[in-house]
Chains A and B, each alone.
Chain A
């Protein structure tokens, strides 16, 4: 039962990263590819009707983590106290950047909110990548299952880690580049004319960077956290995951160069799923490894909630997800196709 919930939480996180990932990525390139007010409105409109729903996946995944693995929630949220507070502030700034921008038709006002939106999107992408890096690398858990990490210590991977060291910073950069490509490909599917050309260009420029960083980060992970390979040698089927990652990168390139924007975007989704599944596969059954020694690691077994709660949860969770899927299909169909500024019933 705990394994099922481990997979459920992993799936919800993956959905969150794919969905909110494209609007974070769109935000990260917003300031650079959209130059005129019209173009900026198009970017905001491409994500406007869906970003709020995308972000709900973060809350739903967080809530699910809370009730399925209470100790993990308690330990990781208090241990990552400082970066999480900053994530909260950035999420706030980003939301008002999107939503308050168009309330006043004035250059200074709009420029201010565009900058807030762009900068907070970039920082959030880096923070989320660094957070994942922390989970893979491990944290200094004590015997009670708690820890507290300062923002940085000596930037080295060791027992007394900070949130940021060379490895987690690398993960942050990988996340940023991945989401930049992801967001640009999404914008390419939603826009026309010059904006479309620029979005496609950004995706082309960053694709090689993404390939290099992917290879580099995989090597770095094996170097910094050697035990990540244990599960792979135990269940060799796991090696399919890196194969999928590389395959999706290759397909992204071909689809993109042939102008098949949707296919390229889907390949980027597959890439993200591959990276996350790869990390989850390496962790299992740990959920938060201890850098202070493997016996202190938090696992799905020592953090899971009671059996009754988990089985009841499975019932309502399934109902809830079916409903959510229906809403999402409905909204995405409703706002499908390229963004046009003429249908002015839209508020953004």
Chain B
């Protein structure tokens, strides 16, 4: 590979992978904070208000890192991928500019109100601010996914006289059917991260016998939410994406499954190591005919293999693509199993005493991050060798005027900067978790205090 191309790809891969560790928690926590705020508003139970305040603090730290690592993403379209931007900017510039004009303004305004305005705003207004932060962050997600969906499945464009692409239909671009499923799948992935993180912090409190009341709320809200979205992640969203791939990017699906030959009744590979040179899978564990059934709903349907297209159109890194995809699917299965079991224990009222389960919930928190990252790697490595599927190859998209040496300069700069950010982030979040939610006087206790006659007790 051309060394300049390599460094431009490496820098984008690194900066976007690192960046996405933060927005996934932002987008995943936002709706759960709204849930906590809603329960507080409906029941008047201040423990939920305290829980929302606690998560808002972590949300705030996480948001800052998400914002500062997000700015380079928009810049890099121009700095590192200028040929791509010149070619496709007339189309995807739309969604990216709309993200700025609609989502970012909304988000930044209401985040300030939400984090710092609780005492200035009424309860209802503060709830509304949390709702708007949720809406802003999810809108931002849609515009980004719509941009990526266009690169996966270009629609609504036409060729201009100068060879670049221009917008033909705004609604085709914004309502790209590829974007709907990708968005649904991606967003439930973010809630999986949010829910597992909440559950893990709750489990940590229960195991260490600190903040036990809040720990129970966190575990309960976390596992119920995680179970719901983990199921949604497989059916219908994951399933629909697989079938969409089979129809529109058959070679990507073949590479994900390491399916070398086109065949009827294709098997689903559960485990095994792909050997690209010899076109086989070592140590395979497969379910016969399953892939045909999943993609075409028929046990004997023909599924296209890698041999259906010339080798230059294969994704270049088939093993990495294969593993990214299998890790994502494998972890998704584990999530359903773990949260399903935890919900049964909760229903049987045994969960808070089952230390082994709390340990599992605590140790689970890194895995949704891994699954989300693996999912995006599947989408992006699977699109290769194309930058815009079927229209522009990655090798034609980078900034030809920016040499490899300048690319390495900025890549190493980002690596250093992000190391510092990681240290600060972990340090500050650890402090918040250590500190825990502010103690709240429960409504029952408050009633008892208020019932004490003649004593001028002031609550709070």
List B residues 113-172 near A (Cβ within 8 Å).
113, 115-120, 158, 160, 164, 166-168, 170
Say yes or no: A53-B112 contact (C-beta < 8 A), given A66-B77, A78-B80: yes
CB 8 Å contact bits of B330-374 with A (1 = contact, 0 = none): 000000000000000000000000000000000000000000000
Given contacts A71-B86, A308-B167, contact A60 B101 (CB under 8 A): yes
Q: How far is the CA of A271 from the CA of B108 in the complex (A)?
A: 28
Nearest B residue (CB) for A328: B109
Interface status of A148 (Cβ within 8 A of chain B)? yes
Q: Which of A286-315 contact B (CB under 8 A)?
A: 305-306, 308-309, 312-313
Quick check: is A218 within 8 A (CB to CB) of the other chain?
A: no
Distance (whole angstroms) from the CB of A224 to the closest CB of chain B: 24
**Residue of chain A at shortest CB distance from B86:** A74
Q: Is A67 an interface residue (CB 8 A)?
A: yes
Q: Could you say which of B80, B94, B113, B164 contacts A67, with CB atoms under 8 Å apart? A: B94
CB interface residues, B 59-108, toward A, < 8 Å: 60-61, 64, 67-69, 71-72, 74-75, 77-80, 82-83, 85-86, 88-94, 96-102, 104-106, 108
Q: How far is the CA of A62 from the CA of B116 in the complex (A)?
A: 28
The distance in angstroms between the C-alpha atoms of A262 and B66, with both chains bound, is 35
* A194 CB-CB contact with B under 8 Å: no
Cα of A330 to Cα of B170 in the assembled complex, Å: 31
Least distance between B414 CB and chain A CB atoms (Å):
8
Tell me whether A74 and B89 are in contact (CB under 8 A). yes
Contacts of A308 in B (CB 8 A): 166-168, 170
Bitwise interface map of A from 68 to 95 toward B, beta carbon under 8 Å scored 1, else 0:
1011011111111110110011011001
A-B contact count (CB 8 A): 214
- B-side contacts of A205, CB under 8 Å: none
Complex formed: what's the CA distance from A91 to B70 in Å?
11
Q: Contacting A63 at CB < 8 Å: which of B99, B112, B413?
A: B99
Binary interface profile of A, 48-74, with partner B (CB < 8 Å = 1, else 0)?
A: 111011001001101110111011011
B78 touches A88 (CB 8 A): no
Complex CA distance for A34 and B237, rounded to whole angstroms: 54
Contacts of A50 in B (CB 8 A): 112
Distance, CA A99 to CA B57, complexed state (A): 12
Tell me if B428 is interfacial: C-beta within 8 Å of chain A. yes
Interface residues on B, range: 35 or more
- Given A63-B74, A78-B399, A308-B166, is A313 in contact with B97 using a C-beta cutoff of 8 Å? yes
Closest A residue to B85 by beta carbon equals A74
With a CB–CB cut-off of 8 A, which chain B residues contact A328?
Answer: 109
Report whether B94 and A59 are in contact in the complex, using a CB–CB cutoff of 8 Å: no
| Distance in angstroms between the alpha carbons of A66 and B90 in the assembled complex | 8
Q: Is the interface of B mostly helix, strand, loop or mixed?
A: helix
Of all chain A residues, which has the CB nearest B109?
Answer: A327
The 8 Å CB contact of A91, one of B68, B80, B85, B168, is: B68
Residues in B with CB closer than 8 Å to A108 are none
A331 within 8 A of B: yes
Cβ contacts under 8 Å, B168 to chain A: 308
Q: Mark B388-420, 1 if CB is under 8 A from A, else 0.
A: 000000000001111100100110010001000
Chain B nearest CB, measured from A320 CB (Å): 3
- Within 8 Å CB of B68, what residues of A? 91-92, 95-96
Residues in chain B near residue A64, CB distance under 8 A: 97, 100-101
Q: Is the interface of A mostly helix, strand, loop or mixed?
A: helix
Pick from A71, A80, A89, A148: contact of B413, CB below 8 A: A89
Identify B104's interface contact among A56, A70, A80, CB under 8 A: A56
Q: Does A323 lie at the interface of the complex (its beta carbon under 8 Å from any beta carbon of B)?
A: yes
Q: Are A347 and B86 in contact (CB under 8 A)?
A: no
Contact of B105 among A56, A73, A77 (CB under 8 A): A56
Write the nearest CB–CB distance from B160 to chain A, whole angstroms.
6
Contact B85 A66 (CB under 8 A): yes
Nearest CB in chain A to that of B98: its residue: A316
B86 A70 Cβ-Cβ under 8 A: yes
Q: Indicate if the CB atoms of B91 and A309 lie closer than 8 Å.
A: yes
> Which residues of B are in contact with A by a Cβ distance under 8 Å?
60-61, 64, 67-69, 71-72, 74-75, 77-80, 82-83, 85-86, 88-94, 96-102, 104-106, 108-113, 115-120, 158, 160, 164, 166-168, 170, 399-403, 406, 409-410, 413, 417, 421, 424, 428, 431
Task: Enumerate 26 A-B pairs (CB-CB under 8 Å) in ascending A order.
Answer: A52-B111, A56-B104, A63-B101, A66-B96, A67-B92, A73-B77, A77-B82, A78-B80, A78-B82, A82-B406, A84-B79, A88-B71, A89-B413, A91-B71, A92-B71, A96-B64, A99-B60, A146-B401, A148-B403, A306-B166, A309-B90, A309-B167, A312-B167, A317-B101, A327-B109, A347-B115
3 smallest A-B Cβ distances: which pairs? A67-B93, A77-B78, A70-B89
- A interface list, Cβ under 8 A from B: 48-50, 52-53, 56, 59-60, 62-64, 66-68, 70-71, 73-82, 84-85, 88-89, 91-92, 95-96, 99-100, 103-104, 145-148, 305-306, 308-309, 312-313, 316-317, 320-321, 323-324, 327-328, 330-331, 334, 343, 345-348
